[in-house]
Structure 1
Amino acid sequence: MVKVRVLDTTERAVGNRHATGALDLARRLPRLAIEARRIAATAAHGIHGRRQAGSGEAFWQFRAFMPGEPAHRVDWRRSARDDERYYVREREWEAAHTVWLWIDRSASMGFSSALAQAPKVDRAVVLGLALADLLVRGGERVGHIGLTNPQASRSIVDRVAEALAADKGAPADLPPPLPLAPLTEAVLISDFLTPAPRIKDAIERMAARGAGGHLVMVLDPVEETFPFEGQAVLAELEGPQTLRVGDAGSFGALVRERMAAHRDAIREACARRGWTFAVHRTDRPASEALLSLAARIAERDAGMAGARIGAGT
């Protein structure tokens, strides 16, 4: 029987002042940041930056104000014309080279089995920080949705990690579904064990103005294979429900079928908007997911650049 465990609230918590567990995420962040830098440095060979030179002074457009941004960025004159939201005045370089990260730290991300190299939340944090480091090395601006502004600082790993540690809010299972500016990209890292219609709605809203995106579904190998036999009790990590299963072997076939259908629904929702979707299992190295993700970002940007050149000829 494969052993499994679920990180408790303290171990998953970031910025919890009352956390005393030796394995709480805030205490693991320095180690995860070091691991992220190491992986990013390994992946950086052969990956080149995409940013083009420019003055960066020209007005590009207005975009919706994002949670976590400083209030002084709000354009109050433009915002006064809309009763529902605030707006930020973007310059051209801000709009053209911004990647928004979002790392899921909700309850289901605390799952880990003996087959995994790390809990899902740890792997998601490492992958997100490593990608931020890699993108900044390539000349990009990176921000975490709801926590940090986009920036091209070489200390991006520390800044995002510090923002995660300072976050006192209750972790959500999906990012705020706010429209992102055109020519920006979103990278969402989660297990996406959320009803597919909610995921589709979040993608539609974030991509409404033409932003690109990439979803990385982080799963424990047990969640895909369900290698159990005999009687079992299943517990919902996001709620109090439990389910007693008399024949786990037969039940596993249903789990695998529904998981495949769920992945297909997410993949279809991504394809509708030209977003990419990939599954990463925590029994595989984080570097594999990072290289694959970086390649998808580069491929999409090459396609966008070609489209712009074609439109201008």
Structure 2
Amino acid sequence: MALARGSGDNKDVIERQSWPQILTDSRQIADALPDLLVEAKQVANTLVVGWHGRRRAGPGESFWQYRPFTAGEPMKRIDWRRSARDDHLYVREREWEAAHTVWLWADLSASMAFRSRLAPVTKRDRALVLLLGLAELLAKTGERVGLPGVRRPTSDRQSAERIAASLTHVSEPASLPDNHEIRRFSDVVVFADLLDPIEKITGWIRQVAATGARGHLVMVLDPIEETFPFSGRTEFRDPESGERLTAGRAEEWRKAYTDRLEAQRETIRDLARRAGWTFVLHHTDRPASEPLLLLHSRLSGNLEAAGLGGHAP
């Protein structure tokens, strides 16, 4: 998305230290993530009360727990190695994986490094706080959390810390995650500005929906991207390509820009609705807890009870 650095009062900037630049120096990312992780934990701690996990025994591949053998069960279910430790018989239960694997993704591409005078943080930093905050919440309730193509889903109380560490090894930031590991009964949560070509987003949504996974899209925008308050001579720079475009009277572009942004947003919202997914619009001048509350309702299965209808304005 091309946003501006203009003349006069238009002092909105794309931060020079964009994510691709940060990734080239592990020491810089090591400095950046701890503060975001602390913020994420603070947000998570305000929301964790009432968050219920969904772990239980059932078909799956991962070990969950040992439990005492019950008379009448097939003898083949007994774990003889564990039972040999004492005078009791035990059954090795696997963890039910049908509805509690949650894949998380944050768009860390160059466009997410944008921050205007109307917001306290970049889109990238807010997306990371949301991702790490959700990972912390899910970890507290025993959910399996992973990063597609980066980290396999695991149930770990230190998931947020381990995910933060994994992010330092991402070789090339992508706006949308790889879908090859995503399977039926899993949840996929994406924090991104979703300003890629609509054909790319549409194709990704359809591919993931075809797997049977449930999607949750959080569109992270700077407030200035909605209002387009530019006027007079203004230079716009595309953070992805570096291309520049100068408007003699930027105010004359406002309606065309806002109409196109609204069409993008409504197309994505409609695609999410048809797939039974969640769509949330979040602005970086708003508290990070707001989208996490909405995701909590959706992930915990209490959407209808909360009266949210699946889509935030």
Give your verdict on TM over 0.5. Answer: yes
1:125 has 2:128 as partner: yes
One-letter code of the match for 2:128? V
One-letter code of the match for 1:289? P
Residue 43 of structure 1, aligned match among 34, 41, 47: 47
- Matched-pair contact (CA < 8 Å) for 2:54–2:99: no
Structure 2 unmatched ranges of 5 or more: 1-8, 64-93, 306-313
- Corresponding residue of 2:68: none
One-letter code of the match for 1:114? R
Report the CA distance between 1:53 and its aligned residue.
4.0
Report the CA distance between 1:205 and its aligned residue.
1.0
- Matched-pair contact (CA < 8 Å) for 2:57–2:95: no
Structure 2 distance, partners of 1:227, 1:58, is 53
Q: Deviations over 1:221-241 (max 9, x none)?
A: 111111111111111111132
- Matched-pair contact (CA < 8 Å) for 2:104–2:190: yes
One-letter code of the match for 2:186? T
One-letter code of the match for 2:13? R
Structure 2 distance, partners of 1:280, 1:58, is 35
| Structure (1 or 2) with the larger CA radius of gyration | 2
Report the CA distance between 1:145 and its aligned residue.
1.2
One-letter code of the match for 2:53? G
RMSD: 2.4
Residue 230 of structure 2, aligned match among 228, 231, 242: 228
Query: Residues 97 and 299 (structure 1 numbering): CA distance in 2 closer, same or farther, change over 3 Å?
Result: closer
Residue 106 of structure 2, aligned match among 103, 106, 114: 103
Residue 194 of structure 2, aligned match among 178, 192, 196: 192
Structure 2 distance, partners of 1:204, 1:50, is 26
Residue 241 of structure 2, aligned match among 230, 236, 239: 239
- Matched-pair contact (CA < 8 Å) for 1:2–1:113: no
One-letter code of the match for 1:29? L
Correspondence list, 1:139-154, <5 A: 139-154=142-157
Structure 2 distance, partners of 1:248, 1:196, is 24
Query: Residues 165 and 231 (structure 1 numbering): CA distance in 2 closer, same or farther, change over 3 Å?
Result: same
Structure 1 distance, partners of 2:235, 2:112, is 19
Structure 1 unmatched ranges of 5 or more: 60-90, 304-313
- Corresponding residue of 1:296: 298
- Secondary structure at 2:25's aligned position in 1? coil
Structure 2 distance, partners of 1:187, 1:44, is 18
Structure 1 distance, partners of 2:202, 2:279, is 12
- Corresponding residue of 2:15: 7
- Corresponding residue of 1:210: 212
Structure 1 distance, partners of 2:282, 2:299, is 16
Structure 1 distance, partners of 2:99, 2:294, is 22
Structure 1 distance, partners of 2:236, 2:137, is 38
Structure 1 distance, partners of 2:21, 2:147, is 17
Question: Which stretch shifts more, 255-264 or 271-280?
Answer: 271-280
- Matched-pair contact (CA < 8 Å) for 1:186–1:213: yes
- Corresponding residue of 2:159: 156
Report the CA distance between 1:135 and its aligned residue.
1.2
- Matched-pair contact (CA < 8 Å) for 1:14–1:164: no
Report the CA distance between 1:243 and its aligned residue.
1.7
- Secondary structure at 2:151's aligned position in 1? coil
Structure 2 distance, partners of 1:14, 1:287, is 26
Question: Which stretch shifts more, 42-51 or 216-225?
Answer: 42-51
- Secondary structure at 2:229's aligned position in 1? coil
Query: Residues 271 and 109 (structure 1 numbering): CA distance in 2 closer, same or farther, change over 3 Å?
Result: same
Report the CA distance between 1:16 and its aligned residue.
2.0
Structure 2 distance, partners of 1:57, 1:110, is 39
- Corresponding residue of 1:27: 31
- Matched-pair contact (CA < 8 Å) for 2:106–2:175: no
Structure 2 distance, partners of 1:199, 1:217, is 12
- Secondary structure at 1:42's aligned position in 2? helix
Query: Residues 57 and 220 (structure 1 numbering): CA distance in 2 closer, same or farther, change over 3 Å?
Result: closer
Structure 2 distance, partners of 1:7, 1:226, is 18
Query: Residues 26 and 109 (structure 1 numbering): CA distance in 2 closer, same or farther, change over 3 Å?
Result: farther
One-letter code of the match for 1:226? F
Query: Residues 57 and 242 (structure 1 numbering): CA distance in 2 closer, same or farther, change over 3 Å?
Result: closer
Task: Name the TM-score, length of structure 2 as normaliser.
Answer: 0.79
Structure 2 distance, partners of 1:137, 1:29, is 20
